[in-house]
Structure 1
Amino acid sequence: MRLFAIADPHGNYSRIEELLRIAGNVDLVLIAGDITNFGPDEKALELFDKFRQKILAVPGNCDNESIIKVVEGSKAINLHKVSISIDGVKFMGMGGSNPTPFCTPFEIQECDFEENVSNMLEDLKAGEILVTLTHTPPFGILDTVGDTHVGCKALNVFLDRADLMICGHIHEARGIERSGKTIIVNPGMAALGFAAVIDINTEIENNVPIINVELIKSDREVI
């Protein structure tokens, strides 16, 4: 399974076609929030129309919570607080962010993150490959602003349980890290021409799937 992952387009979709060309053939598109820049919700449809593949999406803190209804009425699949299986891989999603100093539209208390994540994990079967799609990163990983960690502590329950975590939110934290068996990926800000291509070999080796991640970049000028 080949994934095309983006985060933080913030309503600027001008580099998506070039990123898809660089990525080549992909099976599934994952969008890790901040689809719009404080709306309008319908702007998201412009992004979804760029893909012929199945799309899984969660909102970010700079999206209005009402964008969920737009996603649900579109060709994309809303993964916020949802758990689904596709071709032998379990996908779980959680949009929004833990509280920020900026009072952005879609912020969620840590306790609510914890409750929703716990409910989804009850659906996870032993031995299933797990991919999580969130806007905010787990606390302590790809979550540094200056010298401060600002990630969501409730998401740390996924560490060493999920095989792959895809997140965004922290624009300057583009990268790949590992915690136990879990690979955590921030594809970078799609508005600046960043994305990731991820290959998942669903054949288990030493109790974990083989996952290869490539961070890609478009050099095309934004119009």
Structure 2
Amino acid sequence: MSKKDTYWIAFGDIHQSLNLPNLIPDIDKAAGVIVTGDLTNHSPQGAVEKVWDSIYHLNPNILAQAGNMDRSNVTDFLKSKGANLHLEVRELADGIKIMGVGCSIPTPFGTPSEITEEEMAEMLAETYSRAGKYDKLILAVHDSPYNTSLDMLSNGMHVGSKSVRTFIETHQPDIVISGHIHESRGEDSIGKSRIFNPGMASGGGYVQINLSNQTLDATLKQI
């Protein structure tokens, strides 16, 4: 890559597994690291700090958000580090912005940070309203969009968020990095939006987001 070219590394569903960052090639040379949610499993004391440290010692520029398995202390910690992405918009390069929405719609497991579809829709709309003008948009969302190859359980049932899908259909972000459904690692599209679910971090999946002269591309990778 030229000096004008940069890339970000994105993954999620860490669940307190600390190995993936050390295995990603050239993570230390990336402009930064994006974590889409589920840093912990119900956020026991000290867990988010260990996950943070596992990334920070390789690349200190981190943007992250809580998933459904994270409690509010995870968001509080990320805010204290200036790294929270949930309900926020950041500019990664000139004209290229990223917006983040964590949590998930209800699951059968009663996890700590579940919200209704209506709340998800409100969060997406409110965050997007702060995006302003942009040339390219990345959406980092913990819950995968409904009725794609990225929200299927092993029995073939689609369990993703309809609100996330509607948002993508309406606003057509260029790149979407999702997660939550561990067994549905892969890539799909809704209109012009390319959507990625790298799966659980312990499975070795991640996304490399390439930025070059106001162009944007992404590639699903596997350790």
Cα distance in 1, alignment partners of residues 142 and 176 from structure 2: 10
Task: Give 1:45's aligned residue.
Answer: 49
Where does residue 138 of structure 2 map in the other structure? Answer: 131
Looking at structure 2, the residues matched to 181 and 39 of structure 1 have their Cα atoms a distance apart, in angstroms, of: 36
Q: How does 1:30-41 map to 2 (within 5 A)?
A: 30-40=34-44
1:155-212 superposed Cα distances (whole Å, 9 cap, x missing partner): 1212452011111111111111122221111112112332222213343xxxxx4413
CA distance in 1, matches of 2:33, 2:100: 13
Equivalent residue of 1:132, what SS? strand
SS in 1 for 2:75: helix
Q: Does residue 195 of structure 1 match 2:206?
A: yes
TM-score, normalised relative to structure 1: 0.86
Aligned to 1:55, which of 56, 62, 78? Answer: 62
Contact 1:11 1:191 survives alignment (8 Å): no
Fraction of identical pairs, as percent: 30
The number of equivalent residue pairs is 210
Aligned to 1:144: 152
Instruction: Look up the match of 1:65.
Output: 72
Residues 93 and 211, structure 2, Cα contact 8 Å, conserved in 1: no
1:177 pairs with 2:177: no
Q: Partners of 1:57 and 1:39 in 2: how far apart?
A: 15
1:154 positional shift: 1.1
Q: Distance in 2 between matches of 1:24 and 1:97?
A: 30
2:125 aligned residue (114, 118, 122): 118
Q: Structure 1 residues 82 and 105, CA, compared in 2 at 3 Å: closer, same or farther? A: same
Please state how far the C-alpha of 1:130 moved relative to its aligned partner: 0.7
Q: Distance in 2 between matches of 1:96 and 1:28?
A: 22
Structure 1 stretches of 5 or more lacking a match?
204-208, 218-223
Residue 3 of structure 2: aligned partner: none
CA separation in 2, counterparts of 1:110 and 1:41?
A: 30
Q: CA RMSD in A?
A: 1.9
Q: Secondary structure at the match of 2:78?
A: helix
Q: TM-score, normalised by structure 2?
A: 0.86
- Partner SS state of residue 171, structure 1: coil
Query: 8 Å contact 1:11–1:35 — kept in the other structure?
Result: yes
Partner of 1:14: 19
1:92 equivalenced with 2:99 (yes/no): yes
Please give the alpha-carbon distance, in whole angstroms, between the structure 2 residues aligned to 1:195 and 1:113. Answer: 24
Moved more, 138-147 or 92-101: 138-147
Decide whether the 8 Å contact of 2:99 with 2:131 is kept in 1: no
Helix, strand or coil: the match of 2:222? Answer: strand
1:126-174 Cα offsets, whole Å, 9 max, x none, are: 5531111111111112101122111111112124520111111111111
The DSSP-based 3-state class of the residue aligned with 1:29 is strand
Q: Is the 8 A contact 1:8 1:190 kept in 2?
A: yes
